[in-house]
Structure 1
Amino acid sequence: MQTSAKPGRRVDSASADSYGPLYSFLLLLPFLVLLLAAFVYPVGKLLLTSVFSPGLTFEHYEHVASGLYARVFIRTFVIALTVAGITCLLGYPVAWLLTRVKGKIAFFVTACILIPMWTSVLVRSYAWIVLLQRNGIVNDLLLGAGLIDEPLKLIYNQGAVIMAMVHVLLPYMILPVYGALKAIPVDLSKASANLGASSVRTFSTVTLPLSMPGVYAGSLIVFVLALGFYVTPALVGGPSTLVIATLIGQQVTQTFNWPFAATLSTLLLLATVAVTVAFRRFMSFSGRL
């Protein structure tokens, strides 16, 4: 004897909650085609080009191990690590402030963070050239104040590259840290204060540890983006601060050495993947603690 379903109760069925393999594949097909055409095929061809030119060879990888190109790799990693550290030091206080203010002040701080992200990187890089060049605004102000006797060389060096990259990538640090800070319950800080902890102790024992996932995520995003930065180092740094992305561009557009450019791109890709995997393992290890 069959029993009828009660009114108002949802009747579960397999067709209502899931799709069969064929329908699932059809739904994923556009994404898979895009993934194959825009990522798998270019990366696969890149890997093949680096070792087949035209026969199987690893001479380009041996060439990278020479002193000049090894120094370029080291310089790129040092710049990326420095940029990640500076953005963390500058971005954390801004993110913390954004969680404490309200109204017009919060709107103003948010606008200061988001508006630079909507501006082209090329425009922001040229703005730093206007500021730091020999006859730029900074040198004019220093000369007018009598602090220097002749213009300083503030551009086309590693310091200018780091400064400009910090300016471009700072929002990518602020937003993850802000998300982590915003997720911390306010009651935890109040409970710490009620137990007699000072504001400094509350921050060091409660707020900072709970916000570290946002710090780690922001640091990873900034570090990976800085590894592949091209426009800013090319414009602000010049030949004296050659980085991997700029070197790859030179090999493609000037020397037309596609196999060597593919080798450099492959090594940069492997380094990025290695950093990401190490970060995930570190986060998993920290989570188990």
Structure 2
Amino acid sequence: MTVLVDPALAADARRERRFFLSLSLPALFVVGLAAILPILWIIRQSFLSIAGEYTVGNYEKVLSSGLTWLALVTTFELSLGTLFACILLGTPLAFALAGARPRVANVLMAFVMLPLWTSILVRTYGWLVLLRRDGLINAALTASGLTSEPLPLVYNFTGTLIGMVHYMLPLFLLPVYAAMRDIETDLVRASASMGATLGQVIRTVILPLSAGGIVSGSMIVFIYTIGFFITPAVLGGGKVNPLSIRIERTLSTFQDWGSASVLGILLLVVTALVGVMFVAARRLMAQNRTGAHA
């Protein structure tokens, strides 16, 4: 079947696209200056030795160091741990919010979003006050007799993970809640009327239909936490060293811009690869859903 297109309408569409492109040029220019040029400078810096000569020695030194790979493993452990905790906590919470009355859901969502209204530095030091050995949580545990001595809740992996989950949970919840809210209630009622239990309804109806929101929230959490710095620096107490901490120490301690640039490129490449994986998974799910509807 041949579709005839009016030449005048096609010309108008082209003019409209050129017009909107011209409006975006200033923004593209600012993005280029603020993002692309620093990345190009870091790439150039990674090939410069301390003497100012071009070399691949920085890559050999960084990539052959066991500390680099240990920092990369720590980075993935923190990101995966935060993602798992957000899925475990955020998915049921989004389900409860989606099933609540609009007024109640709005009030609860305001409380969930409350941490985003506070600086991350203030929240991190707030967790430090709560989790340290003489903090409020340990004081309550020892006073109630649940523990005989303070628990090591801070300056370790556990404390860092708690702070990261607290920050990322609202960002994970938003796309999941939006996806679950768009699910037709008639589908849930129909499955329940056919004899499906609550667990079966969640597994066969709600989770498949909200999978796109879960993947989107997971992408936000994982990519964001790969570059976390303040929370590991404060709550880790020097014992939790992801790539971001290693970059900072390479600069502040050794003033080695070449090695720090290599670490920055490694972090950028890891972030890009993870982003591509999530986008591919999102598109695959969309294609499967389209095929199912067809």
TM over 0.5: yes
What is aligned with 1:172? 171
State whether structure 2 residue 58 is matched by structure 1 residue 64: no
What is aligned with 2:98? 99
What is aligned with 2:132? 133
SS at match of 1:52: coil
What is aligned with 2:86? 87
Instruction: Sort the Cα spacing of 1:134 and 1:57 in 2 relative to 1 into closer, same or farther, 3 A.
Output: same
In 1, the alpha carbon distance for the partners of 2:10 and 2:145 equals: 80
1:267 CA drift (Å): 0.4
1:249 CA drift (Å): 1.7
1:64 CA drift (Å): 2.3
What is aligned with 1:40? 36
Instruction: Sort the Cα spacing of 1:28 and 1:200 in 2 relative to 1 into closer, same or farther, 3 A.
Output: same
| Aligned-partner residue type, residue 33 of structure 1 | F
CA contact (8 A) 1:87 1:173 kept: yes
| Aligned-partner residue type, residue 64 of structure 1 | V
In 2, the alpha carbon distance for the partners of 1:191 and 1:20 equals: 46
What is aligned with 2:3? none
SS at match of 2:154: coil
In 1, the alpha carbon distance for the partners of 2:19 and 2:163 equals: 49
Name structure 1 gaps, 5 residues minimum.
Answer: 1-11
Q: String of CA shifts for 1:56-100, please: whole Å, max 9, x gaps.
A: 322222222311221011111111011001101100111111111
Show the 5 A alignment for 1:1-289. Answer: 17-19=13-15, 23=19, 26-53=22-49, 54-65=52-63, 66-289=65-288
1:50 CA drift (Å): 0.9
Q: String of CA shifts for 1:242-269, please: whole Å, max 9, x gaps.
A: 1111111222333221111111110000
SS at match of 2:210: helix
In 1, the alpha carbon distance for the partners of 2:20 and 2:171 equals: 34
1:150 CA drift (Å): 2.8
| Percent identity between the two aligned chains | 36
Instruction: Tell me how large the CA RMSD over aligned residues is.
Output: 1.9
Instruction: Sort the Cα spacing of 1:191 and 1:151 in 2 relative to 1 into closer, same or farther, 3 A.
Output: closer
1:105 CA drift (Å): 2.6
In 1, the alpha carbon distance for the partners of 2:201 and 2:147 equals: 45
Q: Find the structure with the greater CA-based Rg.
A: 1
| Aligned-partner residue type, residue 124 of structure 1 | R
Instruction: Sort the Cα spacing of 1:138 and 1:61 in 2 relative to 1 into closer, same or farther, 3 A.
Output: same
| Aligned-partner residue type, residue 167 of structure 2 | V
1:107 CA drift (Å): 3.0
Name structure 2 gaps, 5 residues minimum.
Answer: 1-7, 289-294
CA contact (8 A) 2:132 2:152 kept: yes
In 2, the alpha carbon distance for the partners of 1:200 and 1:20 equals: 50
What is aligned with 1:5? none
1:103 CA drift (Å): 4.9
In 2, the alpha carbon distance for the partners of 1:20 and 1:115 equals: 41
In 1, the alpha carbon distance for the partners of 2:233 and 2:239 equals: 10
1:110 CA drift (Å): 0.9
In 2, the alpha carbon distance for the partners of 1:204 and 1:155 equals: 36
Matched residues, number: 278
Q: String of CA shifts for 1:228-253, please: whole Å, max 9, x gaps.
A: 00101000001111111111122233
Instruction: Sort the Cα spacing of 1:20 and 1:215 in 2 relative to 1 into closer, same or farther, 3 A.
Output: closer
